Structure 1
Amino acid sequence: MATEGPVGLRHYYAAVGNKEAKLATLMELLQTLQSSGRRSLAICCSSRDTLDALVYALLQSGGFAVTALHSDLTEKEREMALTAFKRGAAGPPRAPATAPSPAPGPGPSPAAAGPEEPGQGQEGAGREGPAAGGCEAGTRSRAGEAAGGGGRGAAAEESLLPCVLVLTDVCTKVLPKELLPLGISLLVEYDLPPSKDLYTRRLSLFGGGKDRRSQRCVVVDLAEAGALAAFRALEGFAAAPVQELPVRVEEMFA
């Protein structure tokens, strides 16, 4: 049975061969949207390792203001992060010194692995990496960092960058309802949702509770080879027909 989603929702997918192609496809998509003036989006993933890899790649690109949400953050830190994201601004710089471990490789599909849950070791305390510990109320882009730290010029430059929220599925359970919807027009499901319940929680980023606004909302799934069963399940409960990503990605918002 289809999920109730925001009015005007469009749903697309991009087929990718492996984890390297998956990350490359994501970056190409974001860079294309960046050049077209798209302002803010969210990326959902199932594990902390994947979140670390995504945050690192986005920071290395130098073209995004990145906010990361994971289960190591306190409730107050999550509120600060979401508030900063909704303002379209990023907080203190937190660029990684070294690359994180690669995102999980080919193997069991996201459906087989199941969603991340607290206590399973996927988001353990004391983790190191680009999104480890502390308040991630906006991980500043390297472009903003190079512009002079906290100066007025750096803040102005960074405010013009597309804002990207990267979050793990555990965090979709505990987002403050008063801060929803987030005002995003694009949700990227980096890992396919293994259940209708998780899919519904992800859609709540567009509109909290019964909020079903008429703005154009777009969901894009990155489907790895070998995840056919999870993809077919998604087609069964998706809030809109899942279509192939158009060659001209701006057509998603037309």
Structure 2
Amino acid sequence: MAEAVGPVGLHHYYAAVGNREAKLATLLELLQALQATTSRRHLAICCSARDTLDAVVHALLQTRAFAVTAIHSDLTEKERELALTNFRRGAFGPASTGQSSAAGPGGGAEAGSLRERSGLDVAASRDVEQLPCVLASTDVCLKALPKELLPVGVSLVVEYELPPSKEVYSRRMQALFGGGKDRRAQRCVVVDMVEAGAVGAFRALEGFAASPVLEMPVRVEDMFTARS
């Protein structure tokens, strides 16, 4: 995990998007902007639905710019645990392009590392190991992860789909960042992707979020360094 420069604790931001297509494009822009900074950060993306997870993972794999680990219900309990363990080591766990329409023709579920699917040679695989690690998970699987593997220990959580309740929100924060003591020891950043039709859900989130939800700054790195 990258060392925080700004004040520690939980810092919450939102990115307003017009529709689902714009949301995916904004996510890729956000991650690419983070990749352009000097710090290599591990991050997690939270999805409520499996179809959404499939679309996000497929888009990330298409860029060949991230080491992606996906945790979903098609994996066995042991596979999910192994995937999370490998992610925490900066390696590659089972990922899936899924069976959603975004996977394209022949895009069925498949397991294995980004390195294996890309057919990279040994020299190229060393470059892959330097890529930012992205963990994508559904809420159902996040809830089922064993406590001994938690918290995951990321520095950034993207709530690609807003949490439908305070319970789900709290579970995401606990599993990915840890409890209050863990959050006070590091800079934890949350970014919520808010579609135009999700204003009601966003207002509800503002009511139970652990910190004020601010508009995401133009300069992405400021989320990790600003004093607000």
Identify the TM-score tier after normalising by the shorter chain. Answer: 0.7 to 0.9
Q: Identify which range, 58-67 or 68-77, moves more after superposition.
A: 68-77
Q: Is the 8 A contact 2:115 2:125 kept in 1?
A: no
1:41-66 superposed Cα distances (whole Å, 9 cap, x missing partner): 00001111111111110010010000
Is the 8 Å Cα contact of residues 57 and 96 (structure 2) preserved in structure 1?
no
TM-superposed CA distance for 1:141, in Å, is 5.7
- 2:128 aligned residue (158, 162, 166): 158
Alignment correspondent of 1:69: 71
Taking the aligned partners of 1:191 and 1:158, their CA distance within structure 2 comes to: 28
- 1:220-246 superposed Cα distances (whole Å, 9 cap, x missing partner): 000000111100000000000000000
Give the 3 Å change call, closer, same or farther, for CA 79–165 of structure 1 in structure 2: same
State whether residues 59 and 141 of structure 1, in contact with CA within 8 Å, keep that contact through their aligned partners in structure 2.
Answer: no
1:229 equivalenced with 2:200 (yes/no)? yes
Structure 1 residue ranges without an equivalent (≥5)? 1-6, 104-127
Using the alignment, how far apart are the partners of 1:11 and 1:129 within structure 2?
35
Paired AA for residue 147 in structure 1: L
CA distance in 1 between partners of 2:162 and 2:93 (Å) = 30
CA contact (8 A) 2:13 2:192 kept: yes
Structure 2: distance between partners of 1:165 and 1:84: 10
Contact 1:56 1:100 in 2 (8 A): no
Check 1:141–1:52 CA distance in 2 against 1; reply closer, same or farther (3 A cut). Answer: farther
Residue 28 of structure 2 is aligned to residue 12 of structure 1: no
Question: Which residue matches 2:27?
Answer: 26
1:123-158 deviation line (CA, Å, top 9, x unaligned): xxxxx846x26x55xx4169x83531xx3x233212
- Output the TM-score relative to the length of structure 2: 0.85
In the alignment, which residue of structure 2 is the partner of 1:108?
Answer: none
Partners in 2 of 1:39 and 1:68 — Cα distance? Answer: 17
Q: Aligned pair in 2 of structure 1 residues 101, 86: CA closer, same or farther (>3 Å)?
A: same
Please report how far the alpha carbon of residue 100 of structure 1 lies from its aligned counterpart in structure 2 after TM superposition: 3.8
Which ranges in structure 2 are unaligned for 5 or more consecutive residues?
1-7
Q: Which residue of 1 aligns with 2:118?
A: 145
CA distance in 2, matches of 1:189, 1:8: 18
1:90 aligned counterpart, secondary structure: coil
* Structure with a larger share of its residues in helix: 2
Answer whether contact 1:39 1:161 (CA < 8 A) is retained.
no
| CA deviation profile, 1:6-42 (whole Å, cap 9, x unmatched) | x610000000000010000000000000111332100
Q: Distance in 2 between matches of 1:170 and 1:206?
A: 14
Q: Take 2:174 and 2:76, find their aligned partners in 1: how far apart are those partners?
A: 21
Distance between the aligned counterparts of 2:82 and 2:219, measured in 1? Answer: 35
Residue of structure 1 equivalent to 2:216: 245
Native 8 Å contact 1:65 1:164 kept in 2 = yes
When the two chains are superposed, the root-mean-square deviation of aligned CA atoms in Å is 2.4
CA separation in 2, counterparts of 1:194 and 1:8? Answer: 23
Alignment equivalent of 1:188, drawn from 158, 163, 167: 158
Q: Distance in 2 between matches of 1:209 and 1:75?
A: 24
Greater than 6 Å deviation, 4+ residue runs: none
Give the Cα–Cα distance (whole angstroms) in 2 for the partners of residues 238 and 157 of structure 1. 38
Supply the AA of the counterpart residue of 1:145. S
Distance 2:141 2:99 in 1: 23
Q: Between the two proteins, what is the percent identity of the paired residues?
A: 64
Query: Which residue of 178, 184, 191 corresponds with 1:220?
Result: 191
Query: Is the partner of 1:212 in helix, strand or coil?
Result: helix
Residue in 2 that maps onto 1:101 = 101
- SS of 1:173's equivalent? helix
Equivalent-residue separation in structure 1 for 2:35 and 2:211 (angstroms) = 25
